[in-house]
Amino acid sequence: MNELANELENKGFNTEIKGNKISIRLGGLTNPVSVTHDLAKGKYVVGTRDLPLGVIYTFLLATSLYGLLSSISFISTLLIAACAVGFTSLIITELRVRPLREVIEQLNCQTQA
């Protein structure tokens, strides 16, 4: 993992080793990204936690929209704004993780060859 972390730092990523995974901060309004090694497949895997966050934001948005439609409240408006920021964060994370996925895919191809 140290070699992978050094390689990613050389490519310009902000890495930190935590146990058997590498945490990467992409900067700005992005969610944390981690890289782990899947022993069964023998590959490095990029984890973004976008699915659980997307489900949470969708549930929160639906709840706050219902609250806003049933009675106009300031809290519902704040929750809708928070959901908009959350969805924007998911999109920015996916856009910024694309170069990391390409680097990890290249490393996976090198280790298999």
pLDDT higher than 80, residue 111: no
What's the confidence (pLDDT) of residue 89? 94
Residue spans of beta strands (DSSP E) within the chain: 14-18, 21-25, 33-38, 43-47
Q: Tens digit of pLDDT for each residue in 69-78?
A: 888 788 889 9
pTM of this structure: 0.83
**Total structural domains within the chain:** 1
Helix (H, G, I), strand (E, B) or coil at 40: coil
Instruction: Tell me if 71 is assigned to some domain.
Output: yes
The answer to whether position 113 is within a domain reads no
Position 69 scores a pLDDT of 87
User: Which of the pair, 105 or 111, is modelled with greater confidence?
Assistant: 105
Q: Domain range for residue 44?
A: 2-108
Per residue in 6-30, pLDDT tens? 888 998 888 999 888 999 998 888 9
Q: How far is CA 59 from CA 35, 97, 98, 108, 109, in A?
A: 28, 25, 27, 36, 38
Where is 41: in which H helix or E strand? none
CA–CA distance, 15 with 24 (Å, rounded to integer):
5
Domain contains 37? yes
- In angstroms, rounded to a whole number, what is the distance separating the alpha carbons of residues 76 and 63? 8
* 87 in any annotated domain: yes
Residue 72 belongs to a domain:
yes
